[in-house]
Amino acid sequence: MAEPFLEVKALCKSFGGLQAVNNVGFRMEKKEVLGLIGPNGAGKTTLLRLLTGILKPDSGSVRFRGKQLVGMKIWEIVNLGVACTFQNMRPFRRLPIIANVMVSCLSPRSMRRGEWVKIVRAKAMDALEFAGISDMALEKASTLSQGDLKRLEVARAVATDPELLLLDEPFGGLSPAETDLMAKSIRRLHKGGRFGRLHSEGPAMIIVEHKLQQLMKIVDRIVVLNFGTLLAEGTPDEVVNNPLVIEAYLGQGGGQ
Amino acid sequence: MGLALFYVKKFFKIVRNEVLVLPSRVVVGLFFIVLLGLPLITQDPYIVRIVILTSIFAILAASWDLLSGFTGQMNFGHALFFGVGAYSSALINLHAHIPPWGSVPLGAVVAVLAGLIVGIPCLRLKHTYLALTTLAFPIILTGIIFALPQYTGGEFGLSGVTRFTNSLIGNYYLHVVTMLVTAVVMWKITDSNTGIIFHAIREDELAVKASGINTTRYKLLAFSLSGFFAGIAGGLYAHYMRIAGPSTLEVSMSFMVVIWAIFGGAATIYGPIGAVFILYPLLEFFRIWPEYRTMIFAAVVLVILLYMPEGLIHWIRDKIETECPRCKIRNAATRKTCRVCTAGLD
């Protein structure tokens, strides 16, 4: 039997007395877009941070294409093809936007791939063009608006040419128009193809999001977390009609 | 003949179109010309000596900038690299009888090892804690030196180190050219892709890691590069002064480097060099009022840092040049429109 693309097993993490992620396990296929939802404080961001190695889990395992990710350094995980974006954007504020993306393009994974002529700057420009902020390439990152910072985060993640992309609230703080644009580029990225010098085979994605309406249009499957535990799993329709989920979001009797 | 003429024409074209258009480039060009032509004007041993020492400390200040200004690893013990370079090149020179041409690079290599020894325990530390830890290292080395006087000369240091050459002009050109070359090399390093990663590590280390860059490797690279250039400065100092003493490891030396670099503008390379060339001769000039010398010096530094927090050289550069809002190319402040994209400059 082939190895699963991503397999999370019995993952636990606690901060002091708070059990942030408790015995969470799920599987993911290649080419799948997984939504990760849950009320505030359910442990979604913690789960993503455990996957990317920013936090170390107390116990459990994360296997990506048969390789154990727990215990690896962050950059090793990124170079295996798991890229992430930050919920609170973390650009290099005093650098031009193009330099922000060039840092990703200089990672070993990105240098290995693509054309043999390694024009880092041109590649970074293509990543910016994909994200739609190439016209501001030379501005300092501190001048960007909230929506553009989100796009910059996506450009930085895409520049490493990931196979699994973890997006932490890509629509957070965006206006409806910007949300539509972002959703469109996420769908385009998932379809894959060639964006200038950037190849994309259409990465699998895990998207954490609160704007469910937008999320439902993108994702194939949804995982619901509540108080650190896995509450429900299934297609968007199944999850929306699941009484447990309605209760978690709206409280007891909220569905009526 | 035709070929030579072609290159001469090309040279003047470059000078006219690339150098003369920007005041900062003109200033850098003048700096090179004045330094290289100074012996034609004066051969006063006192002035030559000051310029030589200034060049040595300019290398040191620029190497601090490479580590702390760019990578953000606040190093308050930069005298360690200077002292290690001085002592090890002096020891190599005295005991192995290797001439200065060999002992200075070897001393710099030892300083790289010192950089790694400091860098590895400091990888986990940040900001204030890093600064305090690095402050301790030169003090530890001073203790070791005092504990082993039979090898290190104790408080008197190692004397009798051979000079490169005894001619005044020879020494002058050796030190000044070394300074100019190392400065250009350091500037090139920080201008490359590696420099971008150094900048990014200063801004946000976690985000650099999440971009797939092995930050440990780059931080150690910064430590060892900085150690190398500071070691060269130390070796040159030991061979020029003919003595490697514990004064090279003093805390005041570490702080002097920090003052120079911050005064000129951190994360620029040219800033610290310019600052040393202003401050070091200034401190010598104040010898005419010996009682108030350090007080006036402190006042000057304080005023500059109060009104130009980005650094003096940076401030001057912003005054004589403006950045085009559209294409981000720098222009002379006298221009009304950008020299490349012709956008208005107001």
Q: Which residue ranges make up each domain of chain A?
A: 6-250
Question: Residue B158 in contact with residue B150, Cβ under 8 Å?
Answer: no
Instruction: Count CA atoms closer than 13 A to B271's CA, side-chain side.
Output: 28
pLDDT of residue A136: 87
CATH class given for the domain over A6-250:
alpha beta
Q: Which among B200, B204, B214 has CB closest to A75? A: B214
Burial of B34 (0-12, 13-18, 19+ CB in 10 A): exposed
Mean pLDDT of A116-137: 84
Closest CA to A171 of A162, A163, A182: A182
pLDDT of residue B105: 92
pLDDT averaged per 10 residues in sequence order, chain B, 346 residues: 92 90 91 92 90 94 91 88 92 88 92 90 84 89 88 83 86 93 94 92 90 91 93 93 86 88 88 92 86 85 87 89 86 86 82
CA B168 – CA B177 distance, rounded (Å)? 14
**Interface mutation target, options A48, A75, A101, A144, chain B, most CBs of B under 10 Å:** A75
Set of chain A residues whose Cβ sits within 8 Å of the Cβ of B196: 95, 99, 102-103, 106
CA A223 – CA A234 distance, rounded (Å)? 7
Cα dihedral A162, A163, A164, A170 in deg (nearest 10)? 50
Three-state secondary-structure class, residue A226? strand
Going by pLDDT thresholds of 50, 70 and 90, the confidence category of residue A115 is low
CA distances, B289 to each of A167, A171, B283, B295 (Å): 65, 65, 10, 10
Tens-digit pLDDT profile for residues A142-154: 888 888 888 899 8
Domain membership flag for residue B285? no
Give the chain A residue whose CA is nearest to the CA of B208.
A103
Domain membership flag for residue B248? yes
- DSSP H/E element including A6: strand A6-15
Going by pLDDT thresholds of 50, 70 and 90, the confidence category of residue A117 is low
Q: What percent of chain A clears pLDDT 90, i.e. is strictly above it?
A: 5
Tens-digit pLDDT profile for residues A8-18: 888 888 888 88
Domain membership flag for residue B85? yes
- DSSP H/E element including A82: strand A82-84
Tens-digit pLDDT profile for residues A172-206: 888 888 888 888 888 888 888 777 777 777 888 99
Going by pLDDT thresholds of 50, 70 and 90, the confidence category of residue A87 is confident
pLDDT of residue A118: 67
**Interface mutation target, options A55, A79, A87, A92, chain B, most CBs of B under 10 Å:** A92
List, as ranges, residues 15-74 from A with C-beta within 8 Å of B: 52, 54, 73-74
Interchain contact A123–B (C-beta under 8 A): no
Domain membership flag for residue B230? yes
Three-state secondary-structure class, residue B322? strand
Three-state secondary-structure class, residue A114? coil
Domain membership flag for residue B142? yes
Domain membership flag for residue B196? yes
Closest CA to A75 of A40, A42, A110: A110
- DSSP H/E element including A182: helix A176-191
pLDDT of residue A231: 85
Q: State the residue range of the domain holding B227.
A: 43-254
- DSSP H/E element including A45: helix A44-52
Q: Do A106 and B199 touch (CB under 8 A)?
A: no
Average pLDDT, chain A: 85
Mean pLDDT of A61-67: 87
pLDDT above 80 for A123: yes
Q: Do A99 and B208 touch (CB under 8 A)?
A: no
pLDDT of residue B12: 93
Task: Please count the structural domains in chain B.
Answer: 1
* Percent of residues in chain A assigned helix, strand, coil, to nearest 5: 40, 25, 35
